[in-house]
Amino acid sequence: MDSVNGVPPSGIVTFLFTDIEGSTALWEKMPEAMKRALAQHDQILHLAIAKHNGYAFKQIGDAFQAAFVAPSDALNTAIDAQRALRDATWGETGALRVRMGIHTGPEEWLGTDYAVSHTLNRVARIMSAGHGGEILVSSETVENVNGTMPQDANLRDLGKHRLKGLKIPEHIFQLVVPDLPAEFPPLNVLDSYNAHFETVARNLAENRVVPFLGGTVNLVGRPTDRPWRFGESDFLPVGVELAEHLARLFDYPANEPRDLVRVSQFAAVKAGIGPLYDELRKVFKAEYPPTPLHMFFAMLPRLLRERGFPPELMVVTTNYDDALERAFRAMNEPFDLVTYIAEGDARGKFMHTSPDGKARPIDKPNKYLGLNPEERTTILKIHGVVDRNNRARDSYVITEDHYIDYLAHKDIAQQLPAQLLERMSWSHFLFLGYSLRDWNLRVILHRIWGEQKFKYKAWAVSDTNVLGEKPQPLEQEFWRLRDVDIIKMPLDDYVESLQERVEHLTQGIAVSSPERGGE
């Protein structure tokens, strides 16, 4: 972005980040009014930043990022901007509520942008902890103000909090002036989810939680600035990356959406299902290390046993890779693998592979007794899997035809072993790495549960830092109708916090009654 104040500073820099609270819903409901409101918002921010010697170096949607030499200039900018936002005439949208975060730290201007750094990450997290109309300030900024506080302004000490994405607790202050609102809900920090993690950990210990793992779990522990490249990367692709890879291989039209289901259908029609399976096998047979999320679930049985809880873990996934299975093998944890068969004579059934590697189709689900959930974990892969040892057992629900067949086939719930269905009927569900724009999740919810609410409280962790993963109003309504709570948190933070809570479990403390959903 251009600035009337010239070249942005380097060295010890104070940053102001802003974001409009609830903007996604406003764009959905009144896009034309939001265009006008956003133009006014942008003008207010530009004027305030320029007035106080700031440099607005980036705008991402409705979010501003500005740099200052003097910390007091950033504080004055935030106050002036909040006053102008309060006093403006907004029309149909109502007043836009803007959260603001300020932090001071070392940073270098590279000519077109600042270097990716811990400083920028911290200011983004501080801003995200606040609410519309609130101004949050780091302790580093407070230390550098040096007696140059804005007139009539005070700093309210909010204490130390562990922010999403940061390992060390952050000491946060609220900038307060008499003529602006000063009372806000609790900070949006990891501390605020203590009760949630306690509930999930306790119910895991009592074998009352079934995790569902989706595509973006493969981003856990992955560098944010490294895209997946076939044959080069040491991490698994997510759906959009796999779609792009297949699109290049099969000459998918450049002007068509890069949706994995559509790209896969194109490849199957153009070249046949065999060549598509060949390319998928090349991708998923590569030696990718399991992510910290996979390792957490593989360690979970041992963690529970050590604390006196008998583990009877069941994990469901729609992913095709075998990262979860490899994590369990690395931890020497036996497991039963139950996978959906998408092709061949047994299409529509499930295959059981026991710990000794023997595989057999489940022909009579209601009478099948081959599983041993009281002794070992069950991994249920409802959309197939790569089989490293037997190419003929590779199975993927990935094309449009696969999904149509999946929907039209005999009720999938009737094809699952009765033991697994019973377990799911009295469990909480924990959805990790899913978006409701993902066909995988929509299909499985429809096939197993139809339109009914879950019997027990369920949770969906939405990583708002992943492109396209910010929950949209329609998605949030979809979850609400099923009584599913959205937990807005990076998956890395979620897994780490859940593991910490499990490690602090005390044997013998009873779990409170499960949170009930709709009947």
Kindly report, residue by residue over 318-328, the tens digit of the pLDDT.
899 999 999 99
Mean pLDDT calculated for residue range 86-90 = 95
Nearest to 265 by CA among 396, 384, 441: 396
pLDDT of residue 450 exceeding 60 = no
pLDDT of residue 512 exceeding 50 = no
Contact (Cβ atoms closer than 8 angstroms) between residue 314 and residue 416: no
Confidence of residue 42 (pLDDT cuts 50, 70, 90): very high
- C-alpha span between 178 and 287 (Å, rounded): 60
Q: Report the relative pairing of strands 484-488 and 458-462 from DSSP bridges.
A: parallel
Dump pLDDT digits (tens) for 416-447.
Answer: 888 888 888 888 999 998 765 555 566 666 65
One-letter amino acid for residue 66 of the chain:
A
**Residue 171 in tokens:** 């000491």
One-letter amino acid for residue 447 of the chain:
R
What phi and psi values does residue 349 have, to the nearest 5 degrees?
-100, 180
Contact (Cβ atoms closer than 8 angstroms) between residue 382 and residue 316: yes
pLDDT on residue 394: 85
Residue ranges covered by each domain of the chain: 11-186, 195-226+286-503, 239-284
Confidence of residue 469 (pLDDT cuts 50, 70, 90): very low
pLDDT on residue 511: 41
- C-alpha span between 66 and 368 (Å, rounded): 62
Question: Tell me, which fold does domain 195-226+286-503 have in CATH?
Answer: Rossmann fold (3.40.50)
pLDDT on residue 510: 39
Compute CA distances 350 → 269, 395, 412, 416, whole Å: 26, 11, 9, 7
More reliable by pLDDT, 29 or 278: 278
Longest dimension (CA), the chain: 78
Residues whose CB falls within 8 Å of the CB of residue 218, separated by 6 or more in sequence, listed in order = 235, 236, 237, 238, 291, 319, 321, 323, 433
The beta strands (E) that lie in 74-181 are given as 98-107, 135-138, 154-161, 170-176
Number of neighbours of residue 256 by Cβ within 10 angstroms:
11
Number of neighbours of residue 29 by Cβ within 10 angstroms:
12
Nearest to 357 by CA among 390, 333, 382, 332: 390
The proportion of the chain whose per-residue pLDDT surpasses 70, expressed as a percent, equals 87
The beta strands (E) that lie in 374-456 are given as 377-381, 384-385, 395-396, 428-432
Query: Taking the model in full, what pTM does it have?
Result: 0.72
- C-alpha span between 257 and 282 (Å, rounded): 24
pLDDT on residue 486: 82
Mean pLDDT calculated for residue range 488-510 = 80
Give how far the C-alpha of residue 252 lies from the chain's centroid of Cα atoms, to the nearest Å.
Answer: 29
pLDDT on residue 518: 38
Contact (Cβ atoms closer than 8 angstroms) between residue 386 and residue 394: yes
More reliable by pLDDT, 393 or 291: 291
Of 83-87, 149-153, 427-431, 432-436, which one has max mean pLDDT? Answer: 83-87
One-letter amino acid for residue 512 of the chain:
S
Sheet-wide strand order for 484-488:
359-361, 350-353, 335-340, 377-381, 314-317, 209-213, 428-432, 458-462, 484-488
Contact (Cβ atoms closer than 8 angstroms) between residue 311 and residue 377: yes
Confidence of residue 413 (pLDDT cuts 50, 70, 90): low
Number of neighbours of residue 483 by Cβ within 10 angstroms:
16
pLDDT on residue 5: 61
Contact (Cβ atoms closer than 8 angstroms) between residue 457 and residue 517: yes
- C-alpha span between 301 and 39 (Å, rounded): 54
Residue with tokens 């499960």: 514
Nearest to 318 by CA among 256, 380, 382, 238: 382
Mean pLDDT calculated for residue range 445-470 = 63
pLDDT of residue 7 exceeding 80 = yes
Nearest to 270 by CA among 294, 256, 253, 290: 253
Query: Domain 11-186 belongs to what architecture?
Result: 2-Layer Sandwich (3.30)
Contact (Cβ atoms closer than 8 angstroms) between residue 353 and residue 337: yes
The proportion of the chain whose per-residue pLDDT surpasses 90, expressed as a percent, equals 51
Confidence of residue 366 (pLDDT cuts 50, 70, 90): confident
Residue 155: strand, helix, or coil: strand
Contact (Cβ atoms closer than 8 angstroms) between residue 494 and residue 291: no
pLDDT on residue 513: 37
Mean pLDDT calculated for residue range 211-226 = 86
Chain-wide mean pLDDT for the chain? 86
- C-alpha span between 385 and 241 (Å, rounded): 18
